[in-house]
Amino acid sequence: MRVELEKISKSFGPVQANRAISLAFEPGLIYGLLGENGAGKSTLMKILSGYQPADSGRILLDGAPQRFRSPLDALAAGVGMLYQDPLDLPPFTVLENYLLGRRGGLAIPRRRAAGELRELGARYGFEVHPHERIEDLSLGERQQLELLRLLSGGARLLILDEPTTGISAAQKELLFNSLRSLARDEGKTLILVSHKLDEVQELCNRAYVLRKGELAGEAELPCPNKRLVGLMFGQLPSRPARPRPEAGPPRLELRGAAVRSPRLRTQPTDLQVGAGEVLGLAGLEGSGQELLLRACAGLLPLAAGELYLSGVPQRRLDYLTARQLGVHYLAAGRLEEGLVSGMTLSEHMALVNPNGLFVDRAASKAQAAERIRQYQVVARPRSRVEELSGGNQQRFLFGLLPPDAQLILAEHPTRGLDLRSSDWIWGQLDERRKQGAAIVFLSAELDEILERSDRIAVFFAGRLSRVLPAGETSVDELGHLIGGGA
């Protein structure tokens, strides 16, 4: 199916997210859609998939103009989209989630549908358990299910909005293999929205680059990364080499610490992080590193062992105490844990500065404006957080970090961020580090871990299996280790 976008424009109030964008997609090819945070990629793709209407412009499928009133309309015409957050129903079972929106009789043919779903999974190489609940699955598994749903719904154009943020390298490999065979063997058109140039180079045949709501250019892939970066940002952001200083006195120490969750119990762990040091936690999602990080923030109780902050033992550390001791935690789920959906940026400022009983609106507005400038957030003090693009949410979340942090615990600090924003975030973290903060972060990007940490702690199946200096290992070795290799 040949897909054309003709002069698509869309604004949200004063923000022009898309400005007369025209693109064409040929069958059987994989396209990359690139652009910095807030460039308008998600907006354009949501228009193409019927989630929201364009202000003006046309969508043509095989030359015929279309009017999509809902994503279901679009899917019926062969356009399916995997959203940045999978649009599924967490309390439903896999089967119910699959059946919602499919036509059929009144009663639910559970047995038959379960068989159908398993078969479909087998065909695309995914393992499916129809009676599990969506909320018990990992992000990668939820994406696979959405993909299956779209394919079974007859999608011939598949749009994937940052599908690899938050999934493991192994799941990514699985996903990419299926995507390749979809394009090659079934002649489907695929659009991959991503910030990861290497991924786009590896998977895609052609790339379109958006900048500030306009089409900045296109490129046949593979091509030099430099060219894509140039199209995205106008100029190459330079990245100063980072000195690796000596670690200062210990900020965080774990002795035989173990944490328990319904799904996993970690082995007793010993770990030390000094002032000015950056420790990266590597491991497949759910290997126990998240649990330990949360325990250090006082969000989970230790099931065993001891925790020291700046040398002081902490019994029954809770989140508020931890905050007072200068421990700051940046959650991965921005809208779930970090930011309050429905509240404006000013109101967030008022939340983190609770001075007395009354909200000083003028002051918090001024602070929000200050943060917006300082952290280069594309928004206004009275924007609600859910209106911000993913990258801008992350930047703003960062702006909420108080200046006196001693220990910063970050889950996926640059998830969903473009190159320039990630560099910027790490620049900020580096500042904090120079002022004596210790930083512990976890990331699914081995590159990021290698490049940004001083030492790396590798987790496998709930156990801290190795601690290595970042200078003495490689992506290959790390990949091997997090997969359980010795």
Ligand X SMILES: Nc1ncnc2c1ncn2[C@@H]1O[C@H](COP(=O)(O)OP(=O)(O)OP(=O)(O)O)[C@@H](O)[C@H]1O
CB 150 within 8 A of CB 189: no
- Pick the closer one to ligand X by CB: 32 or 391: 391
Does 387 bind ligand X (CB under 6 A)? Our answer is yes
Does 38 interact with ligand X (rule: CB under 6 A)?
Answer: yes
Per the structure block, which two tokens stand in for 110? 């559970």
Task: Choose, by CB under 6 A, the member of 3, 5, 8, 37 that binds ligand X.
Answer: 37
Render the burial of 361-380: b for 16+ CB within 10 Å, e for the rest.
eeebbebbeebbeebebbbb
Least CB distance to ligand X at residue 13 (A)? 6
Q: How many CA atoms lie within 13 A of 102 on its CB side?
A: 21
Question: Given the complex with Mg ion, which of 388 and 470 has the nearer CB atom?
Answer: 388
**How many residues lie near another protein (CB under 8 A)?**
23
Residue 412: both structure tokens together: 């996926």
* Residue 237: strand, helix, or coil: coil
Structure tokens at 274: 């000094």
Q: Is the dihedral of CA 178, 181, 187, 192 positive or negative?
A: positive
* Joined tokens for residue 127: 């393992």
Residues 144 and 64 sit within 8 Å (Cβ to Cβ): no
Residue 96, binding choice from Mg ion, another protein, ligand X, none, Cβ under 5 to 8 Å by partner class: another protein
Cα separation, 373 vs 376, whole angstroms: 5
- 7, 12, 15, 20: CA torsion to nearest 10: 0
Query: Which of ligand X, Mg ion, another protein, none binds 37 (CB below 5-8 Å, type-dependent)?
Result: ligand X
Q: How far is the CB of 136 from another protein (least distance, A)?
A: 10
By the rule CB under 8 A, 234 interacts with another protein: no
Q: What are the residues facing 260 on neighbouring strands?
A: 265
Which listed range, 40-48, 197-205, 279-287, 328-336, lies at the site for ligand X (CB under 6 A)? 40-48
Comparing CA positions, the residue from 25, 28, 29 lying closest to residue 49 is 25
Number of shown-chain residues binding ligand X (CB under 6 A) = 17
Which of residues 50 and 213 has its CB atom nearest to another protein in the complex?
Answer: 50
For residue 91, the minimal CB distance to another protein (Å) is 6
Which member of 163, 276, 338, 391 binds ligand X (CB under 6 A)? 391
Question: Nearest distance from residue 444's CB to another protein, in Å?
Answer: 24
Q: Cβ of 54: how many Cβ atoms within 10 Å?
A: 21
d(CA 199, CA 79): 23
Stretch binding another protein (CB under 8 A), from 86-94, 165-173, 308-316, 389-397: 86-94
Smallest distance, another protein to C-beta of residue 19, A: 22
Answer with the entry of Mg ion, another protein, ligand X, none that 388 interacts with (C-beta below 5 to 8 A by kind): ligand X
Residue 66 bridge partners (DSSP): 59
Report the C-alpha gap between 323 and 98 in whole angstroms: 42
Instruction: Mark the segment that binds ligand X (CB under 6 A) among 168-176, 333-341, 386-394, 458-466.
Output: 386-394
What does 100 interact with, of another protein, Mg ion, ligand X, none (CB < 5 to 8 A by kind)?
another protein
Of 20, 29, 66, 92, the residue at the interface with another protein (CB under 8 A) is 92
d(CA 361, CA 359): 6
Choice between 40 and 140, CB closer to ligand X: 40
Residue 86 touches ligand X, criterion: CB under 6 A: no
The SS3 of residue 157 is: strand
Q: Does 298 bind ligand X (CB under 6 A)?
A: no
Structure tokens at 220: 């046949």
Of 106-125, which residues contact another protein (CB under 8 A)? Answer: 106-108
- Residue from 26, 56, 62, 100 touching another protein (CB under 8 A): that is 100
The minimum distance between CB 330 and another protein, in angstroms, equals 24
Residues that bind Mg ion (CB under 5 A): 42
Q: How far is CA 111 from the centre of its chain?
A: 35
CA atoms 300, 306, 311, 313: torsion sign? positive
Residue numbers 41-80 binding ligand X by CB under 6 A:
41-43
Query: Which partner, ligand X, Mg ion, another protein, none, binds residue 222 by CB below 5 to 8 Å per kind?
Result: none
In whole angstroms, what is the distance from residue 226 CA to residue 223 CA? Answer: 8
Contacts with another protein, residue ranges (CB under 8 A): 51-52, 70-73, 75, 83, 87-92, 96, 99-101, 104-108
Contacts with ligand X, residue ranges (CB under 6 A): 12, 15, 17, 35, 37-43, 378, 387-391
